[in-house]
Amino acid sequence: MSGQATEDLLIVGAGGFARETAQAVRDAAAADLACGRAPRWRLAGHLDDNPALHGRDVDGVPVLGDCDLVHRLPATARVVVCAGSPRDYGVRARLVRRLALPESRYATVVHPTAAVSASSELGPGTVLLAHCVLTAAVRVGAHVAVMPHTVLTHDDTVGDFATLASGVRLGGGVWLGRGAYVGAGALVREYTTVGAWSLTGMGSTVLADVPPGEVWAGSPARRLREAGAPALDELRADEARADEARADEARAESKETGHRPETRMGSTAG
């Protein structure tokens, strides 16, 4: 047996997406073994806040305890957060903030049948399930969920915490905002922007930019309503953090230039 060292992997969540990720890890281990390599990951178990699951097996993988147990388990174990649904697609971001783990703790899980070009990049905590394709220069952020048979084409950018359900197709140069949810089978026209924390309904054809925090559906897709409260809460929190960052930059610039007011405005002494 040669190659990489095997690391323990904890999956936060025990629902559908978490179980699919566990299966992807099993499939990747089988592919590694078939090639004479040590498996990349060893499934250590699920962590889930539902006490009814604690001590049980889910598809043969034990549920060890609640999500905060991650802080009492060995720090060498890597982690992937697998939670979220169209009803609450902000939960993954909330869990990542709650756990407050360093970026280095998060694993990136790629099913062995996924095709990821050498020019594409995947962020920590991201999961690619079976038969996904990333063609050329695709940028996928952190904690992104990419479901089976999704195709991301040249120069697409996918923000942190986004979810792409099964069979999604993005044309070239699409910008998918932070936390956006794109429903199963949706098609997104090239060079379109899909706003942060928006939701695009399953089977939709997106031909125009989707604003942040809105629900769009249909063919062509049109606005239905505002996104749900959890998504809007995340959008407002992101905007508040951005405002604070701009204020910090302005304060830093003011501090840097405040000792030399004459440089820009001339001396007022006299």
99-120 pLDDT, tens per residue? Answer: 999 999 999 999 999 999 999 9
Write down the pLDDT at residue 251: 86
Burial (0-12, 13-18, 19+ Cβ within 10 Å), 247: exposed
- Decide if pLDDT at 38 tops 80: yes
For 240, the token pair is 């508040």
Distances (CA, A) of 209 to 88, 159, 192, 255: 22, 15, 5, 39
pTM for the model: 0.90
Burial (0-12, 13-18, 19+ Cβ within 10 Å), 71: exposed
Per the document, the length of the chain is 270
Q: What is the mean pLDDT of residues 26-49?
A: 95
Write down the pLDDT at residue 252: 83
Separation between Cα atoms, residue 46 and residue 82, nearest integer Å: 10
What is Dmax (Cα atoms) for the chain? Answer: 84
Q: What is the mean pLDDT of residues 150-157?
A: 98
- Which residue, chain included where needed, has tokens 């922007």? 193
β partners of residue 225:
215
> Which run of H or E residues covers position 115?
strand 115-116
- Decide if pLDDT at 152 tops 70: yes
Sorting pLDDT into bands at 50, 70 and 90, what band is 266?
A: very low
Burial (0-12, 13-18, 19+ Cβ within 10 Å), 86: middle
Separation between Cα atoms, residue 28 and residue 49, nearest integer Å: 27
> Which of the 8 DSSP states describes residue 171?
-
